[in-house]
Structure 1
Amino acid sequence: MSTREQGAVDERRVVDDLDALSKVPKLPGRVGWLIGWSDRLFTALATLALLGIAATVMLQIAGRLFLPFSPAWTEELSRYLFIYMVALSSGAVIHRHRHVSVELFQHWLGPRGRALYQVLVCLVVGAFALIVLPYAWAYAENGAWQTSPTLKVPMLYIFFSTVVLFALVLVYSVIGVVEGLVALVRGPIDPEEEAPSWK
């Protein structure tokens, strides 16, 4: 193996070690297909919200530069689109392990250790979402008699983003717990995989 190929292999190993929890296998079969389809749906909706933000901001810039007036509603709409982008992408981010996290020891764990760690993290996150979800619903209901300043949209729809956020976090945390438990029960396919990666 050439030095260049060895460098590529080492680089791939470092990236895999940084993303240790992605090695926990996802659920197979129709359930796995349904979860994957749900990931793609919410990612597509979040992407549409991001494109909406870009279009709204470009309209605001164009209005300030080329029009005699700047539309007042663009800043408000971009803010609401940003809120929904975060809420809609929260579940897929948890499922793909792309949220901000501090990884100090996960790459030292074998497959069962990573699965157990995923179960514990998802239990804590899911418990937090379960506790906060009723309060998010109460917060959303407060917007029923309010409207946004420029768009005149009922704030119920804007405040409902917190319900979407914590509901998706709860659902995807349950999925993470189930995937981790299945990986714990099934164990590694290859006996050599049980050895921690630092050996």
Structure 2
Amino acid sequence: MKTLRMLETAVTLLFRAVVGIAFLVLIAAVLVQVVGRLSGASPVWTEELTRFALLYLAAVGAGLSLKSGELVNVDVVCEAFPERIAWTLRLVSALLVAGLGLYLLPMAWRFTTIGNFQTSPALGLKMSYVHFTVFLMLALLAFFAILRVVGMLTGTDNGRPAHLNIDPEE
């Protein structure tokens, strides 16, 4: 179990750094674009880079949001039920997210490989690097959902979002 926690911590730190880098790239590209428009010569590559950075930001952020419980959820519905039913609903939800993510991974990889035959018009980047965001998002959602399921079944996690992680007996 300790190894699993260390893996979760390492993956979380790595992808938090990726979110930070994507956000910095996004900020820099928009800044260059705005300054370019003020000077009358906005580089065409900034729009494309902004889109690509936003895709990575969303793909990685989705997995991290699932981990922290900040991904869009129906907490109001789950928490209206008695604790045992709410716990079961959270478990089923995590199982469905993990199952769907794992099921879609091969198709997302096929989509990623199609990008090897395409390049982006402004940056000349292989589109497989851009298409990879779909695979990455599904992989991270499945990974963090599986961790939640394992945590719930072993009793180390109750499946609640961090902001709702309070003792129901209080």
State TM-score, norm by structure 2: 0.84
Greater Cα shift, 43-52 or 78-87? 43-52
| Residue 112 (structure 1) shift | 4.9
Structure ranking higher on relative contact order (CA contacts 8 Å, 6+ apart): 1
Q: Which of 8, 22, 37 pairs up with 1:64? A: 37
**Deviations 1:26-76, CA, capped at 9 Å, x for gaps:** xx744323312321221121121012111110110000102x411000000
Alpha-carbon RMSD? 2.4
Number of residue pairs aligned between Structure 1 and Structure 2:
162
Contact 1:50/1:85 (8 A) holds in 2: yes
The TM-score, its normalising length taken from structure 1, stands at 0.73
> What is the distance in 1 between the residues matched to 2:132 and 2:156?
36
SS at match of 1:104: helix
Q: Which residue of 1 aligns with 2:149?
A: 177
Separation (CA, whole Å) in 2 of partners of 1:73 and 1:185: 45
Structure 1 contact 115–183 (Cα < 8 Å) conserved: no
- Which blocks of at least 5 consecutive residues in structure 2 are unaligned? 159-166
The structure with the largest alpha-carbon Rg is: 1
Trace 1:161-172 onto structure 2 (pairs within 5 A). Answer: 161-172=133-144
Match of 1:39 in 2: 12
Change (3 A) 1:38 1:109: farther
Q: 1:81 pairs with 23, 45, 53, which one?
A: 53
Matching of residues 93-112 of structure 1 within 5 Å: 93-108=65-80, 112=84
Matches within 5 A, 1:137-176: 137-176=109-148
Structure 1: gaps spanning 5 or more residues? 1-27, 187-192
Aligned partners of 1:112 and 1:184 also within 8 Å: no
Look up the SS of the partner of 1:151 in the other structure.
coil
Distance in 2 (CA, whole Å) between partners of 1:111 and 1:96 is 20
